[in-house]
Amino acid sequence: MAFRFFIFAILAITIASFGSASDPSQLQDFCVAINDSKAAVFVNGKICKNPTDVDAGDFFLSAGLNKPGNTSNQLGSAVSAVTVDTLPGLNTLGISLARIDFAPNGVVPPHTHPRASEVLVLLKGTLYVGF
């Protein structure tokens, strides 16, 4: 019985040593999006800015998330989205940001995030969330 267990353990270790899993390697560390059809690198649906021309401003958003949205609408909510169009440095990173302001009893309609996750941070009040 011990011999069978030993053979099974050796076989399992041998098979497991051939397995590997990892994320695919990225083509580059970052790809700051620009609206220039003459750029050479095209990744993720956007054209990449020349890495030598990239500066800190491409990764900084000065306005947008610090100001509350207008919640006087039918839903009682306002979404301020930050995407690659407003913050070019987000391109190819697979993330976006949003600030959602709610009036009392405000709602966000049911929606999905294909191939994405959602993280909620509540600063004030109570929020009921269903998944």
Residues that constitute the known binding site for oxalate: 113, 118
Cross-strand partners of 34 = 47
β-strands 46-48, 33-34 pairing: antiparallel
Q: Can you say which residues are annotated as belonging to the binding site for Mn(2+)?
A: 111, 113, 118
Contact 106, 71 (CB under 8 A): yes
Annotated binding site: 111, 113, 118
- Longest alpha-carbon distance in the chain: 74
Query: Residue 119 corresponds to which amino acid?
Result: V
